[in-house]
Each structure stands twice: as C-alpha cells, then as structure tokens.
C-alpha cells in the first residue's frame, strides 16, 4: 500500500513538473523562432482614440508620484482623452500636496481607520469618489505611484484595444536594476516575464496576464471587477482568475513601456514576495481552479493555459521540485514510476537555458549576468515566501513597498 501511494505521488509530481515545463517553454520557443499566430500587422491610425481614466493608489509616495504625473502630462495623446486621479491612501507625508500642486491630477484623500486597508479597497474608494461626476471614459488604467511611462504609452495601449481586446497589459521594466543584487534579480525575473512569458503567449494567440500596474480595462469590465467585491490582498491575481473564468482574454503590448521600482533589500523582498504568493493562493482558491476546470471542460486551450497560470506556484518551486526528483532518482534509482535522474538534471539545465535565453533576447547588460551568482540566495528567499505566504496565506493589510527612486522619465531614458 505504501509503495502504491508513493508511486502515485511520484506520478502526480512528475506530471505536474512536465506540464509546468511545457507551460514555461512553449511561449519561449514561440519568441525564439519568431512564430506569431495570425496577422502581425499593426494599425497605424486607430479608428478610435479611446479616453482613459488613470487611477493611481498612493501611500506616502511624495518622493516619486510627481515624476509619474510629469510623465503622464507628456503623453503623445490628446489631453482631453486622459484624466488622472490619485488616491492618497492613509498618507502621513506630503503626497496629497504634491498631487494638488502638480495641476495634472485630481486627488482623493482617504482615511480607512477601522476599514479595509488594501490596494483594491483604495482603488474602489477612488472609483466611487470620481464616478459620480466623472465624464464618460472608455478605459480605466491602473498605475502605481512609483511608475513612469514612455511618451507613447497611451497610444500603444489604445492600439491593442483596437484589436478587440477588452483588457490590456503593458510591459513592465525596471528603473533601478543596478541598485543592488536583489534589484538585479528582481529585474531579471520581470524581464523573463515580459520577454518570454507575456510576449510568447501573445504570439501563440493565448491570453496574457495582468500585473498590478500597467493594466487597462474597458470601463464596463473594470466596473464589473470592482463591483463584485474588494480583493482580499492582491487585486491583480484575483482579477486575473475572474477574467479567465468569464472567458475574457488579456492582450499584451511590449511597445507600451512602464518603468517601476524594484525591491532593493532582503526585508523588502521577503515582505513583497510573501504578500504576492499569499495573494495568488487566495485568488487560486477562490477563482483559479474553477477557471482551470472550466477551460478543460470547454476544451479551450487558451482558457486552460490561463487557468493553469492562475494556479501555478512560483518558478522557484518547480526548480526545487525538479531538483528533489533528481536527488530521489540518484539515491534510489530503482524507485518505481520515477523517470531516470538524468532527465531531471536536464530539466534543471533547461531552467538555466530559459534564463539565459530571455537575457540574451532582451539584451541584458553584463552586470545582470554577474547578479546570477546570487541566484541560489534569491531562490531561498522565494521558497521561504512560498512557505510563509502560500501554505499559510493571510489576509493582512496592504503594506506598500517603500520607494526612493525619484527620477524623471527623461533622466531614465538618458541613462
């Protein structure tokens, strides 16, 4: 009985690892060979210049929010088609004053004593504040206060909406990758997500994922999301799963570039990743598994892959699983139902190839390659976050990452 149970567990773990490897590599290979399903022709002159309501939650962001507002004011997009709104959420600094003095955005000052203190709750409060008197808008864009956007950001997002998507995610690029080895590793992780995962799925005709900032929705889609309750911890993870469950695909554009601040220290990284893993776990338990089952039942490739993506753990866990299977195979080569250990060594090697492929395709600088020497430590941080946030997900309040990279879009582009 014990042997049968062990064999069954090994089959399950190996099957999951193989599916995860396929999920990881299929989009990457599409990028590598330049495959694109359907036409790759871009519209030069869109039929509609959609109007955007730009929502920015901010908690003690006086150092960075002014630079974001400056980059939004410099958009190559009609001024009458964009309105910016900031919620100064429980701020104890001069965030609200910076917003008011900018002349670029309207500011809602929120105090949530005794109420829910999450990013989703802050966005809902802002939306309720502006929706009564807000002129009609076609789309709602979510940004974080530490973000910067390229001058063509809104124009590029509009082009993807022109293709029929109702939700669009931009590329997310680091603005402080060189601050520390942690920020370098965080930037590499984002690079792989942009260059191989998001772009690859777009090339295969699959759905992309939303990512907390740089995500835009048609107005009725956004109102449906916020009208069905405030996300408990991580709004993008829960919204992603609900979008997949409803059959709504997410478009992606690498040409709309958003820059955000990466974590610089170990404490920041641990707190952020724990919150992220916990949010994914909560979203998966409430909606993700239902989306996966729905995709399988309807024989929908894009919905099944999206559901799998909404329920998968971090890449670091798969890497650890492959290492564990290789170790079991090496120590106990006659274990029934276990693939030979060289196969799992090869699987581990494929991770290294995956990382290097993404870095080469993205044109990573030499300093980024040196940061890979710290990858084992970064992996341990991720595993600890999975244990703390994934196995014991809490519904703690929103604790934004402290930001200090006060740089303008012009300074960033000149570096």
Mode of pairing for the β-strands spanning 82-89 and 105-110: parallel
Q: Do 65 and 145 form a contact (C-beta atoms < 8 A)? A: yes
Mode of pairing for the β-strands spanning 82-89 and 148-149: unpaired
Residues with Cβ within 8 Å of 199's Cβ and at least 6 positions away in sequence, in order, are: 27, 31, 252, 254
C-alpha span between 374 and 336 (Å, rounded): 36
Query: Counting Cβ atoms within 10 Å, is residue 383 exposed (0-12), middle (13-18) or buried (19+)?
Result: middle
Please provide the average confidence, as pLDDT, over all residues in the chain: 84
pLDDT above 60: residue 39: no
What was the pLDDT predicted at 397?
54
pLDDT interval class at 42 (50, 70, 90): low
Residues facing 58 on adjacent strands: 88
Residue found by looking up tokens 């890979």 in the block = 372
* Neighbour order of strands in the sheet with 167-174: 105-110, 82-89, 52-58, 139-142, 215-218, 167-174, 250-260, 148-149
pLDDT above 70: residue 391: no
Domain residue limits, the chain: 9-34+292-390, 52-264
196-234: pLDDT as tens digits:
999 999 999 899 999 889 999 999 999 999 887 665 556
pLDDT interval class at 76 (50, 70, 90): very high
What was the pLDDT predicted at 306?
80
pLDDT above 80: residue 389: no
Average confidence (pLDDT) over 259-265: 86
What was the pLDDT predicted at 272?
74
pLDDT interval class at 268 (50, 70, 90): confident
pLDDT interval class at 9 (50, 70, 90): confident
Q: According to the per-residue pLDDT averaged within each range, which of 86-100, 279-293, 319-333 is highest? A: 86-100
Picking from 36-40, 70-74, 133-137, which range would have the lowest pLDDT averaged per residue? 36-40
**More confident site: 107 or 232:** 107
What was the pLDDT predicted at 265?
76
What was the pLDDT predicted at 41?
44
Task: Indicate if the alpha-carbon torsion angle 276, 279, 284, 288 is positive or negative.
Answer: negative
136-172: pLDDT as tens digits:
899 999 999 999 999 999 999 999 999 999 999 999 9
Helices 2-33 and 341-362 cross at an angle (nearest 10°) of 30
Residues with Cβ within 8 Å of 46's Cβ and at least 6 positions away in sequence, in order, are: 158, 159, 162
Q: Within 10 A of 349 (CB to CB), how many other CB atoms are there?
A: 11
Task: Spell out the alpha helix ranges (H) of 265-365.
Answer: 266-283, 289-297, 301-311, 315-331, 341-362
pLDDT above 70: residue 398: no
What CATH fold (topology level) applies to the domain 52-264? Spore Coat Polysaccharide Biosynthesis Protein SpsA; Chain A (3.90.550)
Residue 401 DSSP code: P
What was the pLDDT predicted at 50?
96
258 three-class SS: strand
Closest residue by Cα to residue 110 from 283, 98, 95: 95
pLDDT above 90: residue 82: yes
What was the pLDDT predicted at 113?
58
What was the pLDDT predicted at 49?
93
């Amino acid at each position: 009985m014990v042997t049968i149970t062990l064999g069954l567990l090994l089959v399950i773990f190996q099957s999951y690892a193989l599916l995860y490897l396929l999920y990881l590599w299929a989009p990457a290979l599409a990028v590598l060979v330049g495959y694109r399903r359907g036409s790759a022709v871009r519209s030069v002159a869109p039929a509609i210049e959609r109007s955007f309501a730009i929502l920015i939650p901010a908690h003690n962001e006086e150092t960075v929010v002014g630079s974001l507002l400056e980059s939004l004011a410099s958009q190559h997009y009609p001024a009458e088609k964009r309105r910016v709104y900031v919620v100064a959420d429980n701020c104890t600094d001069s965030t609200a004053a910076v917003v008011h003095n900018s002349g670029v955005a309207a500011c809602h000052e929120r105090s949530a004593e005794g109420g829910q203190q999450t990013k989703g709750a802050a966005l809902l409060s802002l939306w309720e504040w502006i929706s009564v008197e807000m002129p009609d808008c076609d789309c709602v864009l979510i940004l974080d206060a530490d973000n910067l956007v390229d001058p063509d950001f809104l124009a590029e997002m509009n082009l993807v909406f022109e293709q029929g998507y109702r939700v669009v995610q931009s590329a997310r690029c680091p603005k402080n990758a060189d601050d520390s080895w942690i920020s370098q590793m965080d930037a590499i992780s984002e690079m792989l997500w942009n260059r191989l995962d998001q772009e690859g799925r777009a090339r295969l005709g699959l759905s992309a994922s939303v990512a907390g900032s740089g995500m835009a929705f048609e107005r009725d889609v956004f109102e449906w999301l916020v009208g069905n309750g405030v996300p408990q911890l991580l709004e993008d993870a829960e919204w992603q799963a609900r979008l997949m469950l409803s059959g709504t695909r997410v478009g992606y554009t690498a040409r709309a570039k958003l820059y955000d601040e990466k974590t610089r220290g170990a404490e920041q990284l641990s707190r952020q990743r724990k919150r992220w893993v916990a949010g994914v776990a909560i979203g998966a338990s409430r909606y993700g598994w239902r989306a996966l089952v729905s995709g399988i039942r309807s024989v929908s490739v894009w919905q099944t892959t999206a559901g799998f993506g909404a329920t998968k753990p971090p890449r670091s866990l798969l890497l650890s699983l492959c290492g564990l299977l290789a170790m079991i195979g090496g120590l106990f080569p006659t274990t029934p139902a276990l693939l030979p250990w060289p196969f799992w060594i090869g699987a581990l090697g494929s991770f290294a190839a995956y990382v290097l492929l993404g870095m080469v395709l993205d044109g990573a600088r030499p300093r980024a390659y040196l940061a890979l020497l710290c990858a084992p430590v970064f992996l341990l941080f991720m595993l600890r976050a999975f244990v703390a946030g994934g196995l014991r997900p809490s519904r703690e309040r929103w604790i934004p990452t402290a930001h200090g990279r006060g740089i303008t879009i012009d300074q960033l582009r000149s570096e």
